[in-house]
Structure 1
């Protein structure tokens, strides 16, 4: 079965080094690896019958090269893309990035020469090397972070472009495959673990990845079936708004109950947005019609799970982190509790 790899690398090794690394990775002799530089037009004079074909081209910014690799059936059991990236990184001494499949187009994995593997966000930058339209601060461009009036990323009220509230340049997609006005500028905007060769990247949880993570929501699903069995409720109607808010609240509650998967981390800014969602549920329960009893029961079930995974501290932690002090005491009881083990860096 033919295998394909698409890599981005921080460094651009010489073609002989590329060929030797790929040969060692795939268990073939160097002569069976054909490496061609697309920038110089070498692709017109290559051995198209070689079992391993590698085409590389220049990119700019935080990265130096894009690789397209195809491996024919003549090579038995080629490694997975993740394993290949990690082994190439070690062989060549360069960080290797590859796309996180079935995730937002800006989502990548980065494999470092020291064996570190972390999620990364790669954006297309401008001519000056900066991310087009990016705004900094907070999680994914979020500003503020107080109890009220936060703007930017996160659930509800997200502003700006990007993926799930991330502001700034678009994901690279296929942009790195060439441009008439020079190599594309790619910026590694954020990584989830420090990478020695990506010192400019922010380190922290990438929020849009959490939005994409599958979380079981049986309570919200049951509410949806009971109140909108045909899925045709008006988008702006009370039933649909209640379903969406219940879904978001349950996603938080299930994360707490299962120890904050996948890696025990969750941004504080998103946690605050989830607490605001709980406030919306209270407001919706007041105006809901025939579905009110179903909504109240569903919220009560999830609230019990939330209480079980949190501790009452009279709002001390949230009051401190949101810089709202004792004002938190006047809000709903869920603001008065803290996770037993907060999943963010305090």
Structure 2
């Protein structure tokens, strides 16, 4: 499995600054969606660049473990992680080329593992739970895949 801490530690100051810009933009967006008192306490984005990568990594690890660390994992949690993966893709598109390459290497490894533990059913399973999948929206490939081993609570 890729090591996100190694990726973070290996960033140049310029790459770190690019991540900081993306995180600052995300923080502002998240604050705008909150009430003033909650927004005032938020000092880092909940869905920052590395937070999203860690969430995707956690999903892949949970699936690799056959969900052993989870008493249950609801389908809506899985759908949320697919939305997190969308956010990762949006971040990648906005990164400078060298940083993009580093992040794509890590995400590519995670995506490969994700593909191994899921099967493409054209979105049939997820369309039961997601309106956008059911509507046949133009979605990325991860939205048409379901885990080969469904967790408790699905």
Scaled by the length of structure 1, the TM-score of the pair is 0.34
**Per-residue deviation at 1:302?**
0.3
Change (3 A) 1:246 1:295: same
Bigger Cα Rg: 1
Report Cα offsets for 1:215-262 as digits up to 9, x if no partner.
xx7532221111268xx7588523793222111110111111111122
For residues 235 and 282 of structure 1, the distance between their equivalents in structure 2, rounded to whole angstroms, comes to 14
Report Cα offsets for 1:3-62 as digits up to 9, x if no partner.
xxxxxxxxxxxxxxxxxxxxxxxxxxxxxxxxxxxxxxxxxxxxxxxxxxxxxxxxxxxx
Tell me how large the CA RMSD over aligned residues is: 2.6
Asked whether the 8 Å contact 2:55–2:84 carries over to 1, the reply is yes
- Show structure 1 runs of 4+ deviating over 4 A: 232-236
User: Pick from 305, 308, 315: which aligns with 2:113?
Assistant: 305
For residues 304 and 334 of structure 1, the distance between their equivalents in structure 2, rounded to whole angstroms, comes to 11
Change (3 A) 1:268 1:236: farther
Q: Which residue in the other structure is 1:258 paired with?
A: 65
Figure out how many residues of one structure are paired with residues of the other and give that number: 128
Is structure 2 residue 94 aligned with structure 1 residue 287?
yes
Asked whether the 8 Å contact 1:245–1:280 carries over to 2, the reply is yes
**Per-residue deviation at 1:333?**
0.4
Q: Higher RCO, 1 or 2 (CA under 8 Å, sep at least 6)?
A: 2
**Per-residue deviation at 1:329?**
5.3
SS of 1:316 mapped into structure 2: coil
Q: Which residue in the other structure is 1:62 paired with?
A: none
Change (3 A) 1:277 1:262: same
For residues 264 and 333 of structure 1, the distance between their equivalents in structure 2, rounded to whole angstroms, comes to 28
SS of 1:280 mapped into structure 2: helix
Change (3 A) 1:225 1:325: closer
Is structure 2 residue 46 aligned with structure 1 residue 238?
no
For residues 328 and 309 of structure 1, the distance between their equivalents in structure 2, rounded to whole angstroms, comes to 23
Q: What are the ranges of 5 or more consecutive residues in structure 1 without an aligned counterpart?
A: 1-216
Asked whether the 8 Å contact 1:314–1:329 carries over to 2, the reply is no
Scaled by the length of structure 2, the TM-score of the pair is 0.71
For residues 325 and 333 of structure 1, the distance between their equivalents in structure 2, rounded to whole angstroms, comes to 11
Change (3 A) 1:311 1:332: same
User: Pick from 58, 78, 83: which aligns with 1:271?
Assistant: 78
For residues 267 and 236 of structure 1, the distance between their equivalents in structure 2, rounded to whole angstroms, comes to 32
Asked whether the 8 Å contact 1:253–1:306 carries over to 2, the reply is yes
SS of 1:291 mapped into structure 2: helix
User: Pick from 115, 119, 122: which aligns with 1:314?
Assistant: 122
